[in-house]
């Protein structure tokens, strides 16, 4: 990652001799139904913006937040990114169903390949299972038996 923009000088801090400049810019993604679609911000945020946001949301007492230094109190909070008056409606499954099907198909292929490779490798030498592995396999076996009785059509979905 190369940033062509030098970090800003003189962040507000309790010890300005130590912190004379912000650090490198770090890309961030804020996900919320209250953030507009495909929007971005040119606001200056830093790592203490997250702390300030948490304090404003969960630790405000009598209109003030606990003092955690100048840098935190002067940091822009992430609430300014929540610009929508009401949450966006949820996406319809039709938009992501084809992608989910591809992911599921790839998962089944890679799982089958992994199990096949593991089976041929393990067939040559018997391995000793740990207690955790033994318990896991026992529970998986019991789960499979119950699922086969209760909902055999769903069995292929899990394995």
Element (H, E) at 147: helix 131-150
CA 97/CA 61 separation, integer angstroms: 45
Instruction: Tell me which of 22 and 154 has the higher pLDDT.
Output: 22
Output phi, psi for 18, to 5 deg.
-85, -45
The pLDDT tens digits for 111-128 are 555 544 555 555 555 667
Instruction: Tell me which of 158 and 50 has the higher pLDDT.
Output: 50
Phi/psi region, residue 139 (left: phi>0; alpha: psi -120 to 50; beta: rest), is: alpha
Collapsing DSSP states into helix, strand and coil, what is residue 96?
Answer: helix
Instruction: Tell me which of 49 and 147 has the higher pLDDT.
Output: 49
Instruction: Tell me which of 123 and 52 has the higher pLDDT.
Output: 52
Query: Using an 8 Å Cβ cutoff, are 75 and 48 in contact?
Result: yes
CA 114/CA 103 separation, integer angstroms: 16
């Amino acid at each position: 990652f190369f940033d062509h923009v030098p970090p800003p000088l003189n962040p507000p801090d309790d010890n300005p001799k130590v912190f004379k400049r912000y650090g490198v810019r770090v890309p961030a993604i804020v996900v919320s139904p209250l953030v507009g679609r495909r929007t971005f911000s040119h606001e200056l945020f830093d790592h203490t913006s997250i702390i300030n946001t948490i304090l404003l949301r969960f630790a405000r007492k009598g209109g003030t937040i606990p003092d955690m230094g100048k840098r935190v109190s002067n940091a822009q909070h992430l609430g300014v990114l929540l610009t929508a008056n009401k949450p966006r409606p949820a996406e319809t499954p039709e938009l992501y169903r084809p992608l989910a099907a591809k992911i599921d198909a790839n998962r089944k292929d890679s799982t089958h390949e992994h199990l096949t490779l593991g089976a041929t490798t393990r067939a040559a030498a018997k391995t000793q299972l740990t207690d955790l592995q033994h318990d896991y396999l026992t529970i998986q076996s019991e789960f499979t038996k119950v699922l086969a009785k209760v909902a055999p059509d769903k069995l292929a979905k899990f394995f």
